[in-house]
Amino acid sequence: MTEPQEQELQEQEPQDLEELHLWLRHEVRTTERRTPIVPSDARRLVDSGVALTVEESPQRIFPIEQYEAAGCRVAPTGSWVSRAPRDAVVIGLKELPDEPGELIHRHISFGHAYKRQPGAAELLRRFAAGGGVLLDLEYLVDDDGRRLAAFGFWAGYLGAALAVLHQRGRLAAPLRPTEKEELDETLRPAAGDEKFTALVVGALGRSGRGARTAFVTAGIEPTNWDLAETRDLDRRALLHHDLMVNAVLATTPVPPFLREQDLDDTSRRLRTVCDVTCDVGSPLNVLSVYDRTTDWTDPVRRLRKEPPFDLIAIDNLPSLLPRESSTDFSAALLPQLLEFSTGGPWGRCLDRFHQACRELGITEGDFRRA
């Protein structure tokens, strides 16, 4: 990248709060009920001098009236494309719509584009073509590389909960959003429930802690593995659990935990796996036995008939508990938005965007010139 182009991108860096305009967009995925900013935190942003525009969204767990009451401006669904000022920072969670082809804004979201996932290069080229920037929330980290805002706990909690309900024959499809109290009631063991063994891989991380908490609610004491156990994987021990939750966030390629030949092993006890990470299509995927995720309509996919092997791999699990997960995430993100002008974590996000573009072969000629 040439120096003028670096300078153009650097001009997209964070600015003073009194000049900051956040634009909270509607999520295009119909099952996405969460929001990165809840109304109570929106009020704090507005009171701190941030201009906050919130798009109407029929599925967002918090109604637009609560944002209006917090002092936010209201805009039509999807209007960031044509109405958001160029210097606005568009904030959301999941995937962007396919259009426009050129993205001119700074976007805060989970891009899922830095691990060579399918569609990664196309997305980053859209930013390059428009002169925009992706500030990926997965890479919003502190000085030690620890994520500052994440949905991991609730992803792990729901992953384990769905796996338990499926194992007990009580998982009803299609899935619907609920609240924790209601979900916990269905999780608690009932008379006659069959006993089974469970394994959490990645047990010490956020997602792993969430999974362990759900298992406790379900009356199950899981086996907990983390780095020490996966460094020298006991595959036989893994396959002799009835249920497994994968909560490992791989950052470098490692030998897969499950392979096709493992599913064909007639001595396998493992019947149900929930992959919380959902790195399908990435070379970092540690479960190389499936090629597409599942969803709310069809949450379980059978990969083997005999002995049966069922997979749950839903990539927006926390949206099933939208109020709790949004509230926790927004509380963690709020200090970072209030300090948007300091640059540190957001500067690291910008650096990671540049690095990802280079890794995917997006050259200086791909970037829009001023």
Range of the domain at 240: 152-320
- Same domain? 122 vs 231: no
Contacts of 336 (CB under 8 A, 6+ apart): 140, 148, 149, 345, 346
Same structural domain, 157 and 256: yes
Distance CA 307, CA 319 (A): 32
Active site residues: 94, 112
Residue 245 shares a structural domain with residue 192: yes
On whether both 189 and 246 belong to a single domain, the answer is yes
Question: Do 160 and 299 share a domain, yes or no?
Answer: yes
105, 186: one domain: no
* Residue whose structure tokens are 């719509």: 97
pLDDT for the residue numbered 115: 86
pLDDT of amino acid 5: 39
- pLDDT string in tens for the chain (370-residue length): 334 434 443 444 445 555 899 999 999 999 999 999 999 999 999 999 999 999 999 999 999 999 999 999 999 999 999 999 999 999 999 999 999 999 999 999 999 999 888 899 999 999 999 999 999 999 999 999 999 999 999 999 999 999 999 999 999 999 999 999 999 999 999 999 999 999 999 999 999 999 999 999 999 999 999 999 999 999 999 999 999 999 998 888 889 999 999 999 999 999 999 999 998 888 889 999 999 999 999 999 999 999 999 999 999 999 999 999 999 999 999 999 999 965 799 999 999 999 999 998 886 566 665 4
Query: Which of 160, 140, 161, 260 is CA-nearest to residue 201?
Result: 160
CA dihedral in degrees (90, 323, 38, 95; nearest 10)?
0
Report the pLDDT value the prediction gives residue 117, as an integer from 0 to 100: 87
Cα–Cα distance measured from residue 278 to residue 156, given in angstroms and rounded to the nearest whole number: 12
The CATH number given to whatever domain includes residue 271 is 3.40.50.720
Verify that 196 and 271 share a domain, yes or no. Answer: yes
Same domain membership, residue 114 and residue 64 = yes
Judge whether 38 and 62 are in contact, CB under 8 Å: yes
Answer yes or no: do 334 and 267 share one domain.
no
Q: Quote the number of domains for the chain.
A: 2
**DSSP sequence for 85-136:** -TT-EEE-SSPPPS--SS--SEEEE----SS--TTHHHHHHHHHHHT-EEEE
Residues 168 and 129 in one domain: no
Q: Among 284, 304, 320, which residue terminates a domain?
A: 320
Whether 22 and 102 map to the same domain: the answer is: yes
Quickly list DSSP for 276-331: SS--TTSTT-SBTT-SS---SSS--EEEEETTEEEEE--TTGGGGSHHHHHHHHHH
Residue pair 310/16 in contact by the 8 Å Cβ criterion: no
Longest Cα–Cα distance in the chain? 69
